[in-house]
Structure 1
Amino acid sequence: MGGSTVLDAPNAPGRADVQLALVPLLFAGAYALAALLFDAWTAAVASASLAASLPIADGLFVHPPHDG
């Protein structure tokens, strides 16, 4: 079967695009959840920062950018 899939679409977002979109989404989600659980803004910001750093670390160290 040689059909086109969503991933083969010419305008499909790449891995870096998805990682960049995840940073604010993870930060906002983790902040909201931690603010409810811990009731302290320092813990909420620390948790949100840790969650938002995961796609950044993945993009830099696990799947680094390359020319091509």
Structure 2
Amino acid sequence: MSSNTPKGPASYFPSIEKKYGRPVAEWKDLIRSSPLTKHMELVAWLKTEHGLGHGHANALVAHTLAEDTTKAS
């Protein structure tokens, strides 16, 4: 395994883009523009409104919220 292989939530990104046909940046923008703020609310919203699987939705939300927490501090 090479050291530049994404780990954690980012490891899902290539399959998310391939399966749903939208770049990860677009999903992150959607998450950030949602009025929802809680992790599981956002996961449920992605699943019901956009048809994502649980693992993919969870990875996107986790990564986006972690990025935002880092930027805010």
The two structures have a TM-score, normalised by structure 2, of 0.36
- Which structure has more relative contact order (CA 8 Å, sep 6+)? It is 2
